Structure 1
Amino acid sequence: MPPWSLISPASRGIGFALARRVLQTTNAPVVATARKDLDKTKQDLLEGLEVDETRLKVLKLDVLDEATIAEAAASCKMQFGNEARQLQLAFLVPGLLFPEKSPTQINADDALLTFRTNTLGPMLMLKHFSSFLPKKSASVDKRGEEMRGLPSVSVTAVMSARVGSISDNRLGGWYSYRASKAGVNQVVKTFDNHLRTASGDNAMAVALHPGTVKTNLSKDFWGNVKQEKLFERDWVAERLIDVVKEVGLEGRGKCWDWDGKEVPP
């Protein structure tokens, strides 16, 4: 049986483009998540694609509500089992941004929501979905048509950002967003250390920086970005999937940008 892929959330933005790209370029069953309008999300994801519709399942999941994460994981266990069909490619991409330009603009509730969405959300996803990753003892078949378009090593990729780099921070501002993404990088490194023990060379984790993408998250800042550095989501999805496949085990536990270059911690 082919391994499967998870993209969460996938109702819009980069997650939407990633889900469509995985459907187009692999044979993998795809689990996409959304907070609401599941039928519409599925319809939108499949629009214009000549793929088997039964490959796509859309589940309700809200990273602010751990119960929905647990329920989604339970649904996946019923469909795939924990080990019979392993999770080969996961993109965890929740994102929220409040652009504080000075310390006086920091709002505790907004900052807490940023951390719950950007950092704690993916952390809880790892809690409930890590059991689907291959164990160190697993005999992983990395050949054949079933693996077409997928990385040879099971990869869990969490969306980060260049502004989460402490050593690269020369401008300041964006306190809660920067800190939440620095937290993402730490979570990814810590989880990858766990996978080194639990999965060996069969699974790894990375963080990703997509650049500035034409999504609602970055809409207010498009005017400050050079045109050649403002990316369409479909192009970014293609690049991120390529990067995930290219970095290999040597790139595990690190943050990589859309161009395959490491973002320093």
Structure 2
Amino acid sequence: MQPWALVAPASRGIGMEFARRLLQTTKVPVVATARKDLDQTRENVLKGLNDVSEDRLKVVRVDVIDEQSISDAAEQVSKLYPKKEAYLHLSLCIPGILFPEKAPSQINYDDALLTFKTNTLGPMMLIKHFSPFLPRKSANLSEESGLPARATWMNMSARVGSISDNGLGGWYSYRASKAALNQTTKTFDNYLKMSSGEKAISIAMHPGTVKTGLSKEFWSNVKEEKLFSTEYAVERLMEVINTRSLDDRGKCWDWKGEEVPP
């Protein structure tokens, strides 16, 4: 069976770099998603990758707060990679938005709702519509260089989603949405134990502070050696993803390969 990878979204930042790295370091087809400007996303992902076959990259429209767009994308992908012939080997699910409330008085209902729609419900709906592409217990997996030994669904979380590690407070909606995402990751992994056995796992990851639009206003508060480029962050994250064992499933890991406590 033909393995393929999903990066959602891949229009900028970490997602774009994940798509570029998969094209450079693996041989599998990559499905990248973007909310708009699909042609521009495709051009940006492929920029400078002269030795990569452009046919390996498919860009489809997904707006993670619009379930119909996710359903439509899954239908489109099912025609590109039929389940009887191909399977999803690596899913990198990384939508994120941040409104940094420092005090309860700063919590805005609409902003908090958008945070949960993007950070929690978005990945949940991606799981709903794309998890059927993951291998079942009976599937024969392909060994692919640059990819984990078993199919892996990765949700991009954050250390601030840890309840036991919360010593500072603040960031109410962001913290809560990522804590909920960690619970979603664990719950989904329990499902995969039944549906896929040892053929597929789900994990969450904390990338550190990366030079992206999400964290831009906080760069000045981070030591230079702890402020990562997207290239470095993705390199480290892929190293961790590719070395997870069955004992690591359902948990949240940071870019160093250390577990983020629940």
1:188 Cα deviation (Å)? Answer: 0.2
Partner of 1:254: 251
Partner of 2:201: 204
1:214-249 Cα deviation digits (max 9, x unpaired): 000000000111111000001111111111111221
Structure 2 segments unaligned to the other structure (5+ residues): none
1:2 Cα deviation (Å)? Answer: 3.2
Partners in 2 of 1:249 and 1:13 — Cα distance? Answer: 29
1:132-151 superposed matches below 5 A: 132-142=133-143, 147-151=144-148
Q: Report runs of 4+ in structure 1 exceeding 6 Å deviation.
A: none
Partners in 1 of 2:21 and 2:245 — Cα distance? Answer: 20
1:219-258 superposed matches below 5 A: 219-258=216-255
C-alpha contact 1:83 1:133 (8 A) present in aligned 2: no
Q: Which stretch shows the higher mean deviation, 104-113 or 133-142?
A: 133-142
1:83 Cα deviation (Å)? Answer: 3.7
SS at match of 1:73: helix
1:141 Cα deviation (Å)? Answer: 3.6
Question: May I ask how many residue pairs the two structures share in their alignment?
Answer: 261
1:180-219 superposed matches below 5 A: 180-219=177-216
Letter matched to residue 262 of structure 1: E
Partners in 1 of 2:17 and 2:61 — Cα distance? Answer: 18
1:91 Cα deviation (Å)? Answer: 0.3
Partner of 1:29: 29
1:150-165 superposed matches below 5 A: 150-165=147-162
SS at match of 1:200: coil
TM-score by length of 1: 0.97
Partner of 1:9: 9
C-alpha contact 2:89 2:151 (8 A) present in aligned 1: yes
Structure 1 segments unaligned to the other structure (5+ residues): none
1:43 partnered with 2:43:
yes
Partners in 2 of 1:158 and 1:252 — Cα distance? Answer: 12
Partners in 2 of 1:5 and 1:93 — Cα distance? Answer: 13
C-alpha contact 2:2 2:142 (8 A) present in aligned 1: no
1:196 Cα deviation (Å)? Answer: 0.2
Partners in 1 of 2:30 and 2:206 — Cα distance? Answer: 22
Task: Select 2:163's aligned residue among 158, 163, 166.
Answer: 166
C-alpha contact 1:83 1:132 (8 A) present in aligned 2: no
Partners in 2 of 1:134 and 1:59 — Cα distance? Answer: 22
Identity %: 60
Partner of 1:81: 82
Partners in 2 of 1:210 and 1:74 — Cα distance? Answer: 30
C-alpha contact 2:206 2:253 (8 A) present in aligned 1: yes
